[in-house]
A and B are shown apart, each in its own frame.
Chain A
Amino acid sequence: MEYFVQQLINGITLGSIYGLIAIGYTMVYGIIGMINFAHGDIFMVGAFLALIAFLVLVSVGVSTVPLALFIVLLVSMALTALYGWTVERIAYRPLRRSFRLAPLISAIGMSIVLQNYVQVAQGARVKPLPPLVHGGYTLFEGNDFAVRLSNIQVIVVITTLVLMAGFSFLVARTRLGRNMRACEQDLKMAALVGIDVDRTISLTFVIGAALAAVAGLMFLLYYGVVDFFIGFLAGVKAFTAAVLGGIGSLPGAMIGGILIGLIETMWSAYFSIEYKDVAAFAILIIVLIFLPTGLLGRPEVEKV
């Protein structure tokens, strides 16, 4: 029982990170109907930017951890958002009217570019960061097993909740959110009623990338290591989360993320740690076959 609760806590933490990445997939898919395959690598870039920004801050003498983390968060969100914007501008926008699979192929190319760019610029070695946030709470003890909730897990979950709330507000209440929802329903019609479609799509990528940057920072804090390849697996799992929750649906992305996090953690804890990624891929396939609209998605109408 204690073991299970501990896994539950770990799973929700991991799931929050997946959920943050999944939002980027789900928004982009909702609006322009493409899988932004490079999004996982945007997340990886975000983690690297956070790492480097932190090192620089420490060297110029910012030594209080909360302040440093806050600055790192802002810097990494801003710069990762710039990456998201650039990728869309260079690799996707010219393909709006191209054949259907073109953006996906371009996205795969972009993913390879980002991965190898970081590898060339920062080396292929794993980058460790000593734990910055210490401490935690022992919730309860029993059978020689103490259930612990570390401060870092609290930070991850709370940050995710705050961002989700802010983001839901943005989509539901602001002008930009209204534009995004309009574009999601019908791009042409949205353009006809005077919405700057290109700008809205750009901003969608910017927001998605900023959220991925937060996920990157959380990943860095939680695991303490990053390398140039983390984006691939995290990206596929986050995409699975988006599909599981119903692609195009924001709460769906979050629920899907937490479910995937839980399944992965439980699978590692009770079955085999080697096959945890197989479990994630298998879920993706099973969901797509039996529940292609996901938990909260709308069925897609096929038009001729």
Chain B
Amino acid sequence: MPRESEPDRPLEFLAAVKEAAIAALVAFGLFVLLIGIRTEQGPTGALVFTTRFGTLAAIVGAVFTATLLRALFWREVTGSFGQIIPAPLKAAASGLSTYAAAAFLVFAVIVPIVFYGNRYLLDLGILIVTYTMLGLGLNIVVGLAGLLDLGYVAFYAVGAYSYALIAQYFGLSFWICLPLAGILAAFGGILLGFPVLRLRGDYLAIVTLGFGEIIRLILLNWQSLTGGPNGIPGIPRPSFFGLPFNSSEHGFAATFGIPYSPTHRVVFLYYLILALALLTNWVTLRLRRLPIGRAWEALREDEVACRALGVNTTTTKLTAFAMGAMFGGFAGAFFATRQGFISPESFTFTESALVLAIVVLGGMGSQLGVAVAATVMLGGFEFFREFDQYRMLVFGTAMVAIVIYRPRGLVATRTPSVSLREQKDVPASIVRDARTETPA
């Protein structure tokens, strides 16, 4: 890009100041009432307000400075951005990514050994792997089949409530309930899939959102079955193939002759969810090689072409919904047994948005990306725990920023499902993508 000659500099500066002033004015308009004034309920119950003009001035000042700096220096930064990373390093990085997955997996396996004494980190690990699993499940629907599902949490809820209710009413063990929860959730997926078969992209998204909310509202209001807002307490904990994790004679510790420790259960839960997540990943990988998996990816790229080539879009969509839902159901059953208590509050739209954000951030369709995104996001949430009230704000901003600046996600390579001789990664940016075309 040719640089402007030096004499233009003052003009350029003036323009930048003008731009910054306008941005500051807009910021002032946006924030003057909502940030400059804080309403509270006073002692009499009526609203009173206090002013916060200091904060307002600081924010407007920050917007002014940021816009000014951006207008003055952004071009230089972006201009040289491409050359910052030298080519050999880039090549090395792409070579590294082949091993990244393996390294990531090894790390995931040894976490409980390394951090055995650290209950907090183990719990965080379980959380991350749970969301990885949810992300992998949703990835089948969104990433592979290209059907935007905003109500994925419904299947998570169906799985969790299936396990809780079956265990409560029939006393079946976790290992019998797990497949049942998966089957019931898959059934839920088909139930949702049937009516929405004809819908296109964003209509589909809204209907799935509605479906998720309907499930939540039913759980909330069907007091006699689900306990309504009070939820279901006392859900049985999982056992190690029949050996409970307690200090009794028949417990896990006594049977193996080791001293009892409550950490055993946490470690077991960790490996359980890791195994489930790996199962999800493995099944997805295998499915991608089957005709049905290829049909999913073809459907994502172009539905009309798919139909023209004789792909049965009905069954293709239904299986995608059912498979995705089934893994959501597994994760739900795991969630119920880990928490020991579930209530509709755990299954709000925010959860769906979080899982969707993980899939999108991870680069839709990339399994490694999902794991990386789940780690970054939930790790980030924990990291900013002190700023609890700001974290959803940051989360939303990140979602917008990623879609704008890295629309292919954090891991922007997609391993082609079909290749002639050798398997090699293709940077997603060089693949012509039917999705980039604007709708007619």
Q: How far is the CB of B134 from chain A (nearest CB, A)?
A: 17
A105 near B439: Cβ-Cβ < 8 Å: no
Across-interface contacts of A275 in B (CB, < 8 A): 217, 221
Given contacts A55-B47, A99-B433, A113-B393, contact A35 B399 (CB under 8 A): no
Across-interface contacts of B10 in A (CB, < 8 A): none
The 8 Å CB contact of B34, one of A90, A113, A118, is A118
Given contacts A109-B399, A110-B400, A275-B217, contact A104 B210 (CB under 8 A): no
Given contacts A35-B202, A105-B356, A116-B392, contact A97 B403 (CB under 8 A): no
Across-interface contacts of B199 in A (CB, < 8 A): 288-289, 292
Give the interface segment out of B25-33, B268-276, B331-339. Answer: B25-33
Q: Which of A288-302 contact B (CB under 8 A)?
A: 288-289, 292, 301-302
Query: Secondary structure of the A side of the interface?
Result: helix
B46 near A130: Cβ-Cβ < 8 Å: yes
B213 near A125: Cβ-Cβ < 8 Å: no
The yes or no answer to B218 lying at the interface (CB within 8 A) is yes
The 8 Å CB contact of B407, one of A52, A75, A98, is A98
The yes or no answer to B322 lying at the interface (CB within 8 A) is no
Given contacts A55-B39, A127-B39, A282-B214, contact A48 B34 (CB under 8 A): yes
Given contacts A104-B205, A275-B221, contact A52 B49 (CB under 8 A): yes
Residue of B nearest to A286 (CB): B195
B38 near A121: Cβ-Cβ < 8 Å: yes
B34 near A106: Cβ-Cβ < 8 Å: no
The yes or no answer to B45 lying at the interface (CB within 8 A) is yes
Across-interface contacts of A59 in B (CB, < 8 A): 49
Across-interface contacts of B396 in A (CB, < 8 A): 109-113, 115-116
Given contacts A52-B34, A95-B404, A285-B210, contact A120 B39 (CB under 8 A): no
A122 near B39: Cβ-Cβ < 8 Å: yes
The 8 Å CB contact of B397, one of A33, A113, A292, is A113
A122 near B213: Cβ-Cβ < 8 Å: no
Across-interface contacts of A285 in B (CB, < 8 A): 195-196, 207, 210-211
B390 near A120: Cβ-Cβ < 8 Å: yes
Q: How far is the CA of A55 from the CA of B40 in the complex (A)?
A: 11
Q: How far is the CA of A75 from the CA of B35 in the complex (A)?
A: 16
The yes or no answer to B79 lying at the interface (CB within 8 A) is no
A108 near B356: Cβ-Cβ < 8 Å: yes
The yes or no answer to B254 lying at the interface (CB within 8 A) is no
The yes or no answer to A1 lying at the interface (CB within 8 A) is no
The yes or no answer to B290 lying at the interface (CB within 8 A) is no
The yes or no answer to A255 lying at the interface (CB within 8 A) is no
Q: How far is the CA of A105 from the CA of B399 in the complex (A)?
A: 8
The yes or no answer to A284 lying at the interface (CB within 8 A) is yes
The yes or no answer to A234 lying at the interface (CB within 8 A) is no
Q: How far is the CA of A77 from the CA of B32 in the complex (A)?
A: 14
Across-interface contacts of B437 in A (CB, < 8 A): 100
Q: How far is the CA of A112 from the CA of B199 in the complex (A)?
A: 25
Q: How far is the CB of B149 from chain A (nearest CB, A)?
A: 11
The yes or no answer to B37 lying at the interface (CB within 8 A) is yes
The 8 Å CB contact of A123, one of B40, B395, B397, is B40
Q: How far is the CB of A210 from chain B (nearest CB, A)?
A: 14
A99 near B436: Cβ-Cβ < 8 Å: yes
A108 near B399: Cβ-Cβ < 8 Å: yes
A91 near B400: Cβ-Cβ < 8 Å: yes
Q: Which of B234-248 contact A (CB under 8 A)?
A: none
The 8 Å CB contact of A106, one of B38, B213, B304, B399, is B399
The 8 Å CB contact of B304, one of A33, A99, A115, A302, is A302
Q: How far is the CA of A304 from the CA of B221 in the complex (A)?
A: 45
Q: Which of B408-440 contact A (CB under 8 A)?
A: 433, 435-440
The yes or no answer to A119 lying at the interface (CB within 8 A) is yes
Residue of A nearest to B55 (CB): A121
A100 near B201: Cβ-Cβ < 8 Å: yes
A128 near B47: Cβ-Cβ < 8 Å: yes
Q: Which of A100, A102, A289 has the largest count of B CB atoms less than 10 A from its CB?
A: A100
Query: Secondary structure of the B side of the interface?
Result: helix
A236 near B209: Cβ-Cβ < 8 Å: yes
Q: How far is the CB of B211 from chain A (nearest CB, A)?
A: 7
B206 near A239: Cβ-Cβ < 8 Å: yes
Given contacts A97-B436, A128-B41, A130-B46, contact A281 B210 (CB under 8 A): yes
The yes or no answer to B353 lying at the interface (CB within 8 A) is yes
Given contacts A49-B33, A56-B49, A97-B436, contact A304 B304 (CB under 8 A): yes
Q: Which of A51-85 contact B (CB under 8 A)?
A: 51-53, 55-56, 59, 75, 78-79, 82-83
The yes or no answer to B389 lying at the interface (CB within 8 A) is yes
Q: Which of B211, B220, B403, B433 has the largest count of A CB atoms less than 10 A from its CB?
A: B403
Across-interface contacts of B40 in A (CB, < 8 A): 123
Q: How far is the CA of A252 from the CA of B17 in the complex (A)?
A: 45
Residue of A nearest to B146 (CB): A101
Across-interface contacts of A49 in B (CB, < 8 A): 33-34
Q: How far is the CA of A78 from the CA of B32 in the complex (A)?
A: 12
A112 near B399: Cβ-Cβ < 8 Å: yes
Residue of B nearest to A274 (CB): B221
Residue of A nearest to B217 (CB): A278
The yes or no answer to A86 lying at the interface (CB within 8 A) is yes
Q: How far is the CB of A297 from chain B (nearest CB, A)?
A: 12
Given contacts A113-B397, A128-B45, A289-B195, contact A98 B33 (CB under 8 A): no
The yes or no answer to B282 lying at the interface (CB within 8 A) is no
Q: Which of A260-289 contact B (CB under 8 A)?
A: 274-275, 277-278, 281-282, 284-285, 288-289
Across-interface contacts of B325 in A (CB, < 8 A): none
B403 near A109: Cβ-Cβ < 8 Å: yes
Across-interface contacts of B198 in A (CB, < 8 A): 289, 292
The 8 Å CB contact of A34, one of B45, B46, B202, B220, is B202
B38 near A82: Cβ-Cβ < 8 Å: no
Q: How far is the CA of A43 from the CA of B407 in the complex (A)?
A: 28
Q: 19 A-B residue contacts at CB 8 Å?
A: A53-B33, A79-B30, A96-B438, A100-B439, A101-B205, A105-B399, A108-B353, A110-B400, A113-B400, A116-B389, A116-B392, A117-B34, A127-B39, A236-B210, A243-B203, A243-B206, A275-B217, A277-B217, A289-B195
Known: A101-B435, A112-B395, A112-B396. 17 other contacts (CB 8 A): A49-B33, A52-B49, A55-B39, A86-B26, A100-B439, A101-B148, A102-B407, A106-B400, A109-B403, A120-B390, A122-B39, A125-B41, A127-B39, A128-B47, A288-B199, A292-B198, A303-B440
Give chain B's interface residues, CB within 8 Å of chain A: 26, 29-30, 32-35, 37-41, 45-49, 148, 150, 195-196, 198-199, 201-203, 205-207, 209-211, 213-214, 217-218, 220-221, 304-305, 349-350, 353, 356-357, 360, 389-390, 392-393, 395-400, 403-404, 407, 433, 435-440
Ordered nearest first, which 7 A-B pairs have the shortest CB separation? A109-B399, A112-B396, A113-B396, A303-B440, A99-B435, A281-B210, A109-B400
